Amino acid sequence: MSIDVITEYIDSYGYIILFICLFFGIVGVPAPEESLLFLTGILIRHQHLAMSSALIYSELGAFIGMLTAYSCGKYLGKPFVNRYGKYVGLTKERWSGIESRYKVNGHKAITFGFYLPGVRQISPYFAGIAHFPFRSFILFSLIGSVIWTIPIILVGYYTAKVIYINPKYVPYFGLLLFVLFLAQLIVKKIRNRQIKT
């Protein structure tokens, strides 16, 4: 989805588009989440959006997306893993190991996983499948969604305050973040191989 289409939708339908895009992005439907948040900051700076409404709708979209994915994982995930997990090497023994590790470190994955594409989509499903305590999940996903949405919107806002950014180039920001994420994974893998040898 291009930035022109997103801005056109925002102009036509308002803040609900922020909610929908972030909700579906968290649930796992491809959406330009970081780019959208950055663009939101730029649009706030250029007075196309109000700061308070943009923050509320963005936060709610991410948070409710997390709750939905958690519920799907909790009620549909375990039978799915039991039935199809063996086809991807996820045996019952391996899954029980993942489950026990997730119960110990899940709070970190839920809170800080927002900054890692892929992790923020998988983490709530894993939390549901592993029966991570619901109250704790609500707390950590609320904190995580706040510390993910607000800073990226503010970066867009303050960047647009300092330099002019054409909204058409905002998708490249998301692409840059994804490339940096992949580069980090590759460097980490190379270092791990060097340590082993």
Q: Give the count of beta carbons closer than 10 Å to the beta carbon of residue 28.
A: 16
> Which pLDDT score is estimated for 9?
74
> Which pLDDT score is estimated for 148?
94
CA-to-CA distance for 128 and 109, rounded, in angstroms? 13
Look at residues 94, 90, 117 and name the one whose alpha carbon lies nearest to residue 179: 117
| Cβ–Cβ < 8 Å for 49, 10 | yes
The reported pTM is: 0.76
- 3-state DSSP assignment of residue 6: helix
Mean pLDDT of 176-196: 76
Mean pLDDT, the chain, as a whole number? 82
Q: Sign (positive/negative) of CA torsion 46, 48, 50, 55?
A: negative
Higher local confidence (pLDDT), 195 or 130:
130
End-to-end CA distance of the chain: 44
Residues 6+ apart with CB under 8 A from 183: none
| Cβ–Cβ < 8 Å for 153, 44 | yes
CB-based burial label for 140 (10 Å; 0-12, 13-18, 19+) = buried
Question: In this predicted model, what pLDDT tens digit does every residue of 49-73 receive, in sequence order?
Answer: 899 999 999 999 999 999 999 999 8
Per domain, the residue ranges of the chain are 3-196
Biggest CA pair distance of the chain: 58
> Which pLDDT score is estimated for 3?
58
Mean pLDDT of 153-159: 91
